[in-house]
Amino acid sequence: MEKIFLFTAAVMMLAFSTDLAYSAVNFTLEDMNGKIYNLKEQLGQGPILIDFWATWCTPCKNALPHLQTLKQKYEKQGLTVLTISIDSPKSQSKIKPYVLAKKFTFPVLLDPNSEVLKQFKGNSVPFQVIIGQDGNVIETHTGYNPGDEKVLEEKIVKLLSAGSGNE
């Protein structure tokens, strides 16, 4: 009887965890240097952290240095950090000087109409998406408060130690 209960509980937990994740939408965007970037090419290599931001968003700009730290600390273990600016065509000229001045090395993609942001069910920035190695969205988060980066790092470490990129 105990074995049946444990088996049933395990099946229910598995079903519950798969209901939480959904497949990441593939997208193709241009980066700030004019290079075309496709999400599908990154899937399966490790967890992916996508951060939607804008140059006019102070919380976004406060979060970006922490993303650079995460990139430097965990990219050799398989983490990919992507940022996507939702700046309008009018303000896009501010992106590259800002990124270069801050010495950020992560890709900065352009989503001027917030189309990709909406595909990931986001409606404001900063908005983060964590995608597992299997291509499923594991979690999303809106906003930034000091300390959020510690919680984010814990989640990334957990994903990297799980090996599969998904729980």
The answer to the question of residue 3 being in a domain is no
Block means of pLDDT (10 residues each) for the chain, length 167 residues?
42 38 90 95 92 98 98 97 97 97 98 97 96 93 95 94 59
Domain span at residue 62 reads 23-162
The answer to the question of residue 17 being in a domain is no
Q: In this predicted structure, what is the pLDDT of residue 22?
A: 81
Please state, in angstroms and rounded to a whole number, the distance separating the CA atoms of residues 85 and 94. Answer: 11
Strands 127-131 and 136-142: antiparallel
Q: In this predicted structure, what is the pLDDT of residue 21?
A: 65
CATH code for the domain of 103: 3.40.30.10
The answer to the question of residue 13 being in a domain is no
- Token couple for 112: 């001027």
Q: In this predicted structure, what is the pLDDT of residue 148?
A: 95
Report the b/e string of 142-167 with b at 16+ CB within 10 A: eebeeebbeebeebbeebbeeeebbe
Rounded to two decimals, the pTM is 0.84
Total domains in the chain come to 1
The answer to the question of residue 145 being in a domain is yes
Torsions phi, psi for 28 (to 5 deg): -125, 120
Q: In this predicted structure, what is the pLDDT of residue 164?
A: 45
Q: In this predicted structure, what is the pLDDT of residue 85?
A: 98
